[in-house]
Amino acid sequence: AQSVTQLDSQVPVFEEAPVELRCNYSSSVSVYLFWYVQYPNQGLQLLLKYLSGSTLVKGINGFEAEFNKSQTSFHLRKPSVHISDTAEYFCAVSDPDYGGSQGNLIFGKGTKLSVKP
């Protein structure tokens, strides 16, 4: 079964600094990869997804992520963060060969991004 590791539980950064939130998954078989964001008191919102094709995926709010199959990673990046990016970020995997055909998502524990002025 798949598992997802987000190594950093909290990431504090200053406004306008670049940020990278790390995500690794357990298997190198074909997977679908997602990043979700959760703002306080709101549901999970999709930032971006990788299904196939180009390994660099661009999402909303200036975020992008790069799929690296050899390192089984899908790190999220933003070149310059804003105060409004303060939220919790979840990496998720859908494994077509293990229940993923039904869309079941396997999540990491989340990374809390805190952007300071």
| Residues making contact with another protein (CB under 8 A) | 4, 32, 36, 41-46, 49, 51, 90, 92, 94, 96, 99-110
Strand partners, 71: none
Nearer to another protein, 46 or 56 (CB): 46
Q: Give least dist CB 99 to another protein, A.
A: 5
3-state secondary structure of 74: strand
Measure the N-to-C terminal CA separation of the chain; round to a whole number of Å.
41
Nearer to another protein, 50 or 115 (CB): 50
Residue that has been written with the tokens 């992520």 in this structure: 65
Residue that has been written with the tokens 């999220």 in this structure: 76
Nearer to another protein, 20 or 107 (CB): 107
